[in-house]
Structure formats: structure tokens, C-alpha cells
Amino acid sequence: MNTVGFAIQAAARDDRVASQWMLSVFFILVGVIVAGALVWAVRLGMSVRDREPAPPRPDEHPRLPDGGPVLEEREVREPEEMPIAGQESDRLMPYQLHHAASKRCDDQHRKRWHPGSSGGFGSGGPGHV
């Protein structure tokens, strides 16, 4: 190899070292920027939380009514039948439909499971018979 070849190799090595150095500086700079953004976000969150009202004191919490807790109401419902149009060419108008899809059932006893009359999915049982 001649002197020119060595000079080209040395210049290429210097370019690689310079590009690696620049890449390292770039990544360090990006890391510092990301870390600074995270510190700024935490400080912003802390300042927002400082401006929020304090949590309520025990005497400010809601209290149960004098009659005790409000109980839920259970009822058995049955589907509301869809009204039928007079002729096949007639159509139902919105005012002919009911506002609820179900109504209160006259029999308010819950349907219960009867032994031997049901089978779960995949159990091999016949289902409701």
C-alpha cells in the first residue's frame, strides 16, 4: 500500500470517529431534553395538585338518611308486545310504540331452578324440559 492509501484510511477512520462522537453527543442531548421534560411534567402536576381543594373532613362527608339506607326495589318484568299494523302496507308510527320494552308482570314470584330440569352449556344436560 502506498502513502495515499494510508492517508485515505486515516481520513476514513477520522470520519467514523467524528460521526460516532456526533451521534453520542446527539443521544446525550436527547436524553437530557427528555429528562428535563419529565422533571417539568412532575413539577406541573405538583403545582396543579396544590391548587386543588383539600379532601373533605369527616364532618363534611354525606350521611345516611334518618330512615336508614335506601333499599333497591325488585320486580319481575315481562316483554311488551309489539303492536301490529292494520294492513301489511301500513307502517307503525312512533306515537304508536310504547316508551318501554317491558312491563311489570302480574306474577311477581321469581322463576326458580327446579332440580333435574336444567343443564348448563357443555354439561351434556338436556336444558330446560
Q: What is the pLDDT of residues 24-83, one digit of tens each?
A: 889 999 999 999 999 999 999 999 999 999 999 999 998 888 888 888 888 888 888 777
Distance between CA atoms of 82 and 84, rounded to whole angstroms?
A: 6
Instruction: Give the pTM.
Output: 0.38
Return the beta strands (E) in 35-82 as ranges: 77-79
Give the number of C-alpha atoms closer than 13 A to the C-alpha of residue 120, restricted to the C-beta side: 1
The helix/strand/coil state of 5 is: helix
Mean pLDDT of the chain: 79
The residue ranges of every structural domain in the chain are 1-50
